[in-house]
Amino acid sequence: MIVRGPGLPAGKVCNEPVSTLDLAPTMFDYAAVEPLRPQHGASLRPQIESAAPREFALNEWELLPTRAGVALSLRTVRTKTHKMTVDYQSAAGELYDLIADPDEMTNLFDDPAAAKVRSELDRMLATRPDDMREVQTQVGMA
C-alpha cells in the first residue's frame, strides 16, 4: 500500500501487518470524523507517522454459493509470523507458519503442535465487532 498526503512522511516503509479493512478507519482518523458504524480494521496512523508495532491485521470475505459452489464466511488474521483463515460456516480452516513455510504449503490448522498458536489467533479473530448481518438479496453472480 502506498500512502501520500500533506504532512505524511515520504519514503517510509512499514513492515507491520495491514489490511484493506484498515483503509476506512485510517481515513476517518486523518479526517478527524467518527465513523457511523463499527470499523473492522484499525487506523494505520500510528504506523504511518511512527514505528508503532502492530500485533495483527484482519481480513474477511463472504461468498455466496454461486461464486464458490458453497457459501463461505471467511475470516483471516495475519501476524508477522502466522496466517490463519477460518470458514465460520463449516469451521474448516488453514493455518500457516509464515517464517518456516512462507509459501503456505503446510496447513497446521488441525496439528496438535500448533494448538497454542491457533488459540492465540482465534483470540485475535474474536476482536472483530459482532455485527454480522444476514446475507442480503444477491446481485449478479458474486
In this predicted structure, what is the pLDDT of residue 132?
A: 64
In this predicted structure, what is the pLDDT of residue 135?
A: 61
Residues 89 and 59 in one domain: yes
Distances (CA, A) of 58 to 20, 47, 103, 111: 9, 16, 20, 22
Residues 78 and 113 in one domain: yes
Please indicate, yes or no, if residue 36 is contained in any of the structural domains: yes
| β-bridge pairing 82-87 and 72-78 | antiparallel
Please indicate, yes or no, if residue 121 is contained in any of the structural domains: yes
In this predicted structure, what is the pLDDT of residue 136?
A: 63
pTM of the predicted protein model: 0.81
Residues 34 and 75 in one domain: no
By C-alpha distance, which of 84, 82, 66, 135 is closest to 74? 84
3-state secondary structure of 121: helix
In this predicted structure, what is the pLDDT of residue 104?
A: 98
Q: Give how many domains the chain has, as a whole number.
A: 2
Q: Which domain holds residue 17?
A: 12-54
Please indicate, yes or no, if residue 103 is contained in any of the structural domains: yes
- Give mean pLDDT in consecutive 10-residue pieces for the chain, a chain of 142 residues: 83 88 93 89 91 90 78 92 95 97 98 98 87 65 59
In this predicted structure, what is the pLDDT of residue 138?
A: 66
In this predicted structure, what is the pLDDT of residue 17?
A: 93
In this predicted structure, what is the pLDDT of residue 67?
A: 73
By C-alpha distance, which of 61, 17, 5, 6 is closest to 42? 17
